[in-house]
Amino acid sequence: MKRYILHRLALAVPTLVLVSVIVFSIMRLMPGDVVIRMVEGHAYAPTVAALRAELGLDRPAYVQYFEWVGGILLRGDFGSSYWTRQPIWDEFISRFPVTLGLAALTILSSVVIGVVVGIVSASRQDSAADYIGRIVAILALSIPYFGLAVLVVVLPSIYFKWTPVYTYVPFSTDPLQNLKILIVPALVFGVTRAGPIMRIMRSALLDILRQDYIRTAWSKGLPERAIVLRHALKNAMIPVVSLIGLQMPLYIGGSVIIEAIFRLPGVGLFFFDALMRMDYPVVQSVNLIVATMVVGLNLAIDLSYAFLDPRIRYR
């Protein structure tokens, strides 16, 4: 187990190096010079050349790359925003709880909906409930979350005089209010992501319910509830968990849009604002941090298989 973790960590290193090279090159190779805009539109410095020198953009690209990566590795310094000169890491950390709360609630709601409907669908195969569940799953799969979010913002305010809460309250100040703010965006996002979970839960559980040990459990006279929930469910969760892992980038990418619609001051909004102002260091570092998190999460998910199915051993 320990060796497996070390092996996976060693494999992650070249991946992350490549990630940093890719994101750095993209930022440098593309046209569109933010410095000109900063000088001409906002008078950040007397001349373009002066500002380029101040930001260190007049040096060769490889020097800039090693300075960026070196700062991260040696000092934990992800650089500063061009516009505000604030350290990126501080801003990221202060906004991270919002995004984390949103992501946790989204995943929770999509898993709860997906797993419950999946269980009903599989244990009552070909019943009316099964068909309804499957149709709902297909619909959920097809409705784009930002479309649903716009409808949830617009329609109830017209017909029921209800609007989502827009002033954000941190969890530490008022947990209940925080939950009230996050639950609507999380549900909107979670419902659309529940579709694939529902479908994979159903097919995995159907597969498990036909196995010998389940027949043994039936013949022992166990009630259906115990068979499905205690014997079958845990084994059927493996594909569900790996699906959530595969979809992690979708949850993170989608949070940019959800945060923009519901005006949540999270990492997604930070990233989007930076993008609009061509604040390269922010865009570059946030991309790298998030990619690192995705790599780490995938490792964690691979390790969770051993918990779900003790037959799985790591070598």
Place of tokens 């259906």: 224
Distances (CA, A) of 91 to 45, 67, 265, 271: 24, 20, 11, 11
**Residue 241 DSSP class:** H
**DSSP secondary structure string for all residues of 84-150:** T--BHHHHHHHHHHHHHHHHHHHHHHHHHHHHHHHHHHHHTTTSHHHHHHHHHHHHHHHS-HHHHHH
Mask: binding to another protein, 224-243, rule CB under 8 A, as x and -? Answer: ---------------x----
Mask: binding to another protein, 105-144, rule CB under 8 A, as x and -? Answer: ---------------------------------xx-xxxx
Cα separation, 112 vs 18, in Å, equals 36
Backbone torsions φ then ψ of 87, nearest 5 degrees:
-60, 135
Cα separation, 127 vs 106, in Å, equals 29
Mask: binding to another protein, 22-61, rule CB under 8 A, as x and -? Answer: xx--xx--xxx-----------------------------
Contact 95, 85 (CB under 8 A): no
Is 64 one of the binding residues for another protein (CB under 8 A)? Answer: no
Is 89 one of the binding residues for another protein (CB under 8 A)? Answer: no
Is 295 one of the binding residues for another protein (CB under 8 A)? Answer: yes
Is 146 one of the binding residues for another protein (CB under 8 A)? Answer: yes
Q: Which is nearer to another protein, 109 or 255 (CB)?
A: 255
- Residues in the site for another protein, rule: CB under 8 A? 14-16, 18-19, 22-23, 26-27, 30-32, 138-139, 141-144, 146-148, 150-151, 153-155, 157-158, 200, 203, 239, 248-250, 252-254, 256-257, 260-261, 271-272, 275-276, 278, 283, 286-287, 290-291, 294-295
